[in-house]
Homo-oligomer: A and B are copies of this chain.
Amino acid sequence: MEKTSCLHFCFISCLVLFIIVGSWYRSSISSLPGYSLQIQKPIDHSAETPYHPLDPLTVKEINRVRTILSSYEPFSFTFPTIHTILLDEPDKVQVLKWRKGDPFPPRKAQVLALLNGQSHVLNVDLDSRRVTSHAINPSSGYPMLSMDDISAASKAPFSNAEFNKSIAARGLSSSELTCLTPSGGWFGPNEEGKRVVKVLCFSKQGTPNFYMRPIEGLVITVDLDTLEVLKFSDTGRDIPIPKSTDTDYRYTAQKKEPQMEPLNPISIEQPKGPSFRVEDGHTVKWANWVFHLKADHRAGLVISRVMVRDSENGELRDVMYKGFASEFFVPYMDLDESWYFKSYMDAGEFGLGMSALPLVPLNDCPRHSYYMDGIFATPDGNPFVQPNMICLFERYAGDISWRHSEGLLTDFQIREARPKVTLVARMAASVGNYDYILDWEFQTDGLINVKVGLSGMLMVKGSPYHQAPNQDAMSGPLISENLIGVVHDHFVTFHLDMDIDGVNNSFVNVNLVKERSLPGESPRKSYLKSKRKIAKTEKDAQIKLKLYDPSEFHMINPSKRSRLGNPTGYKIVPGGTAASLLDHDDPPQLRSAFTNNQIWVTPYNKTEQWAGGLLTYQSRGDDTLAVWSERDRSIENKDIVLWYTLGFHQIPCQEDFPIMPTVTSGFELKPVNFFESNPILRAAPAFEKDLPVCRPSASS
């Protein structure tokens, strides 16, 4: 009987899966006029099996996890709400040993679930079909919101009399409202012991861009488990709802032509196809790179087992075991009753993968892109497919890999230049109003360029003003009539488990120090000297960047040296380096204390993946990178993880209305004495004879 019910269960869940997949595809792509797919055939995920120890859980495996949990004694009475089912990756040593064809290390899942208001963290062994560990409330937070949480909470206000009175008083009908559920953060004991969310509503009348029409000052605090309205607050009755004029950003809604000369069609073309291969679903091979790429419910995109081919002997060499955006921190700078709590941790509270709708071919990613799906779990533990959430493409932007010319000063006539072609893995998430674009770009010279783009809609505040009378009194500039773009920050903290030529690495601060020359030593009075300092413990590697006390930051393998005796390494080259300036005792900063420094280094610990803690929602800051690092563990010649926080300060402007032009920043991971010499010295130039022959399409 148990078997029958299991089969029945599987049948139902597969059905659910295909319905979901089908509807996604229909809604996401084929209904958009003018887009022709040009992407590979959708994969039938129901039949998939893993090919690599790091492959995400398959549809079958997620079904099996649900089956195991269904028959797990503590859940026999009530099945918990599933917030995440993720591969519990095998120990690093097992993964590093594994070769294609070897038997797999045991497949395991980590499950974050909620039952009776308590957080459950379970580990499930898929082979032995057993729950191998089970912790209840191991730290202060809760798992990320589920789709059911969001859906239920956003409906909760409508059964509240005060709320209905308030919207009626504004002349609004409930049918024109869309309510969102920004997390409430955590602000002391009043908000403990239960999951709470703040619900905010917007008017979608006349526009799908309801974000630009906030019902200002109306905040409903909801108990996520009972759906009870805990608190009703309305401080904005005198603030009009901004008009919907020109807020719709959809192409089909545009009535006027833009004020610019039209652009001729332009495209990155590869008539012989792209040069990369995706083997066994997740292993990417391109030029001198091999890596594992997968979608992740929380981080969005995870790059693992990154190896680059040595330019001398052709050997594949380890560079990075795992890299991903571990947490996002987005504090807004407004103390009002309806704003103070707005400080998001987008990965841990909402999930980047969860928020990643299908990429738009030709517009999110160029032609000849390869698309990859994500497979996640619904709140009832069924698998579902997030289709086309990652794209992979070769990029040629007209840039130059290296160049030199001679002929002016010497008798050599030389004109040498090499075009730069790179490989990009991209995902984009719409976390509510905001869009994040994450790019991992691989260069043939060994450099990895990680970029974060910000687009989508600002979180805006209603204002009584049409014009900006006294900007100093407001929490941001007026960006449209009755709309303030509130000043805020974005921090993206990356987990970079660098393994340069093996697991044991050291972190070196190569400090550039200004020295004074001795009297009579030289006509020069000062110079810079680089001084290397190896970090012994975690506190040595808590780094705040300083323009006037600059350093390079190297991850080196102290046991592997180049032929010249230099340790092989990679350096992190910081890009946009806005720092969080909030006080350390401010609750949002306490929870996101991983932004207290721009760089941290911790010893590898499989449980320390999420900079804001495993359970982030309503967390109190007891399980962050900053807390781990305070243990001041030894990090010299150890398996260590580098953390880097990319920061953006945002003072909005009118150009950001009604949708923001993408703002991009990033950082680089760059080989430093890793190769014996320039690895692309022998790269070929582009020749006219090799380039495609193109004609305009008949319809253009």
Contacts and interface: CB of A to CB of B under 8 A. Distances in A.
A581 B403 contact: no
Contacts of A517: 335
A270 B694 CA distance: 8
A532 B471 CA distance: 9
Nearest to A685: B363
B271 A695 contact: yes
A695 to B, nearest CB: 5
Interface string A560-598: 001111100000000001110111011111000000000
A96 interface: no
A355 to B, nearest CB: 6
Interface stretch (A8-16, A56-64, A232-240, A523-531): A523-531
A661 B579 contact: no
A691 B366 CA distance: 11
A530 to B, nearest CB: 5
Contacts of A117: none
A642 to B, nearest CB: 18
A11 to B, nearest CB: 27
Interface residues of A, number: 215
B685 A360 contact: yes
A480 B398 contact: no
B688 A36 contact: yes
A287 B679 CA distance: 39
Contact of A408 (B430, B532, B679): B430
A593 to B, nearest CB: 14
Contact of A421 (B28, B266, B404, B418): B266
Contacts of A341: 523
Contacts of A364: 400, 403, 417
Interface string A662-700: 101000000111111111111111111111111111011
Contacts of A407: 27-28, 357
Contacts of A529: 333, 475, 487
Interface in A541-567: 544-548, 550, 552, 562-566
A65 interface: no
Most central of A263, A457, A699 by chain B CB within 10 Å: A263
A346 interface: no
Contacts of A694: 269, 271, 692-695
A379 interface: no
A421 B263 contact: yes
A476 interface: yes
A367 interface: yes
B654 A523 contact: no
Interface string A504-525: 0000001010101100011111
A436 B678 CA distance: 18
Interface centre among A424, A512, A526 (most CB of B within 10 A): A526
B268 A268 contact: yes
A691 B267 contact: yes
Interface stretch (A219-227, A445-453, A599-607, A614-622): A445-453
A357 B679 CA distance: 26
Interface string A359-371: 1111111110000
Nearest to A689: B699
B583 A362 contact: no
Select the residue from A150, A418, A545 with max chain B CB neighbours within 10 A.
Answer: A418
Contacts of A565: 467-469, 478
Interface in A443-488: 443-447, 453, 455-457, 466-469, 471-472, 475-481, 487
A215 to B, nearest CB: 15
A312 B654 CA distance: 13
A643 interface: no
A700 B696 contact: no
A430 B345 CA distance: 47
A527 to B, nearest CB: 4
A414 B414 CA distance: 52
A159 interface: no
A261 B246 contact: no
A552 B649 CA distance: 9
A17 interface: no
A398 B401 CA distance: 18
Nearest to A178: B410
A658 interface: yes
A654 B673 contact: yes
A415 B532 contact: no
B651 A675 contact: no
Contacts of A510: 651
Given A266-B270, A456-B404, A256 B524 contact: no
Given A34-B687, A678-B661, A455 B487 contact: no
Given A272-B700, A565-B468, A695-B271, A187 B523 contact: yes
A275 B355 CA distance: 36
Nearest to A466: B564
Contact of A525 (B311, B408, B415, B587): B587
Contacts of A586: 524-526
Contact of A333 (B150, B274, B444, B527): B527
Contacts of A105: none
Given A250-B416, A692-B696, A585 B661 contact: no
Contacts of A393: 398
A232 to B, nearest CB: 17
A663 B267 CA distance: 26
Contact of A150 (B397, B398, B409): B409
Nearest to A516: B583
A428 interface: yes
A35 interface: yes
A406 interface: yes
B265 A690 contact: yes
7 contacts: A154-B409, A250-B414, A261-B275, A335-B522, A397-B398, A420-B662, A467-B564
In order of increasing CB-CB distance, the 4 nearest A-B pairs are A397-B397, A260-B288, A335-B522, A363-B417
